[in-house]
Amino acid sequence: MKYISTRGGMQPQPFSDILLEGLATDGGLAIAQQYPQISAETLKQWRQLSYAELAFEILSLYIDDIPAADLRALTQAAYNPDLYVGEAMVPVKPLQGDMALLGLSQGPTLAFKDMAMQFLGQVFEYVLEKRDSRINILGATSGDTGSAAEYALRGKKRVNVFMLSPYGRMSAFQRAQMYSLQDDNIHNIAVKGVFDDCQDIVKQLGSDLDFKQSMQLGAVNSINWARIAAQVVYYFWGWLRATDSENQKVSFTVPSGNFGNILAGHIARQMGLPIQRLVLATNENNVLEEFFRTGIYRPRSAEKTYATSSPSMDISRASNFERFVFDLVGRDATKLKALWAQLADQGYFDLSDLLPVLQEQYGFVAGQSDHADRLNTIAQTYKATGVLIDPHTADGVKVAAEYLEQGIPMLVLETALPAKFSETIEEAMGEPAPVPEHLQHLNDLPQRVLVMDADVAQIRAYMEQNV
Ligand SMILES: *Cc1c(COP(=O)(O)O)cnc(C)c1O
């Protein structure tokens, strides 16, 4: 398996060569040269596999430059059931009728990002060891991504993590989760500013090519291909749990922000997994919902990106969307480049002539939800089923209900557990979300965090002294 760029300007490369990179050399995104096809017979054989075994089978189709025995060990380590709470690592939790949750948030940070990040941590360490190389991850986070990355990379040899977070702007739970890590290779820096200030510092340091090279700077953001590939696994897992025959279809609803999660669903469907619909759910930041409804893609400015009660979906420029559009335009890199040039020039592009293709050939539909919907969905779901859901998952459940079809299981991806976003749970339910037992003492643990001004020079100096 080789990887090409969506912009057409990269020689095909094996997995390990694209693993540590952010953008492809031509500014595009790396994508598999073709999608491996899975037969009904293979699906049947996969029914008895554990999650780790299934992950090995699927990832080995995308990673052929790591020996099978080693890749198996990496998947066993990433998907060791001891790292995940509950009896089933990825349970299917029935709601009402044909609707159920796919429980992706049982990992160390209680959000679905653990599912991919745990594998990324393993494969990073492995490839760096093989190449006798090191990497310094610099990132900015307002919550979920940073903590998932830190829990996946803590204690890893050859990796340092420098994670900028906005001082005083994360929830007490999120702070305790990140700042209680005492590993020497994890550096939490609370920046006196907002998330955008953190992001700007990361961009400034990353665009300084000398610094980038001398520091062996890397990222673990959502365009990382290994994360996408690892996410493909749970669509297969969910389908296998929700069906008992190979011709049965399942629909998935995905609370979406950067289009990473649902892109993996698209890839699973292209691989032949019998998926009826991919239902994209947004919050008030509905740029993607608008695209799938009208065919027009019009990202918004930072000022028009609202802060909502499903904050991990407050995104207006979905970084992975380019990979899907590449498939949509028939993998024509020239066409794709023209669309992105138009985006830069005019702020939008119009693919409304492809609307029927989006729905019929690719199975995509979309819907949106707002704060009142979330509160209502959280309360109603609890009342009807006894299951407490987080605000992001609530966006999904709300939209999923609009696309239910008789006899077709609808799996809503549970992207976080409610304990992470307890303020909104309290608003909906009148009381805070229960904290899983093993995390009840999190708030009492000592915290290790450096508070700094939003000053690039200061942060650069700290990094240079601490690698
Ligand atoms: C990251 C995240 C999302 C959005 O996922 P994308 O892959 O960016 O579309 C949704 N919900 C939660 C809780 C998240 O952390």
pLDDT band at 23 (very low <50, low <70, confident <90, very high): confident
Note the pLDDT of residue 191. 95
- Number of Cβ within 10 Å of residue 141's Cβ equals 24
- In this structure, what token pair is assigned to residue 356? 């029927």
- Percentage of the chain surpassing pLDDT 70? 100
Answer yes or no: CATH 3.40.50.1100 is held by domain 92-111+231-429: yes
Report CA(416)–ligand 1 centroid distance (Å): 8
Q: Can you list the pairs that 82-85 forms with residues at least 24 positions away whose Cβ atoms lie under 8 Å?
A: 83/107, 83/108, 83/118, 85/436, 85/438
> Domain segments of the chain: what residues?
92-111+231-429
Q: Which residues contact 63 (CB under 8 A, 6 or more apart)?
A: 1, 15, 16, 71, 123, 229
Pairing of strands 92-94, 99-103: antiparallel
Query: Is the CB–ligand 1 distance for residue 111 below 6 Å?
Result: yes
Residue 393 CA to ligand 1 center (angstroms) comes to 10
Summarize pLDDT for 35-46 with one digit per residue, the tens. 999 999 999 999
Residue 418 Cβ < 6 Å to ligand 1? no
Pocket test residue of 104, 195, 312 for ligand 1, highest count of atoms within 8 A of CB: 312
**Section 288-307 average pLDDT:** 92
With a 6 Å cutoff on the Cβ, whether 231 touches ligand 1 is no
322-353 residue pLDDT tens: 999 999 999 999 999 999 999 999 999 999 99
CB 257 less than 6 A from any atom of ligand 1:
yes
Is the Cβ atom of 320 under 6 angstroms away from ligand 1? no
**Ligand 1 atom with the shortest distance to the CA of 393:** 11
Residue minimizing CA distance to atom 14 of ligand 1: 312
Q: What atom in ligand 1 is closest to the CA of residue 260?
A: 7
Catalytic residue status for 113: yes
Q: pLDDT confidence of 180, banded at 50, 70, 90? A: very high
Q: Angle formed by the axes of helices 225-242 and 113-130, to 10°?
A: 130
pLDDT, tens digit (0-9, with 9 covering 90-100), for 193-250: 888 889 889 989 988 989 989 999 988 888 899 999 999 999 999 999 999 999 999 9
Q: What is the pLDDT of residues 82-94, one digit of tens each?
A: 999 988 999 999 9
Catalytic residue among 93, 113, 335, 383: 113
pLDDT in tens, 52-61: 999 999 999 9
- Ligand 1 centroid to Cα of residue 392, in Å, is 8
Q: Which H or E element spans position 289? A: helix 287-294
- Which pLDDT band holds residue 316 (cuts at 50, 70, 90)? confident
pLDDT at position 285 is: 95
Which of 258, 292, 309, 421 for mutating ligand 1's site (highest number of atoms within 8 Å of CB)? 258
Res. 22: pLDDT tops 80: no
Mutate to test the pocket of ligand 1, among 313, 317, 421 (most ligand atoms within 8 A of CB): 313
Dist. CA 45 → ligand 1 center (Å):
31
Full-model pTM: 0.96
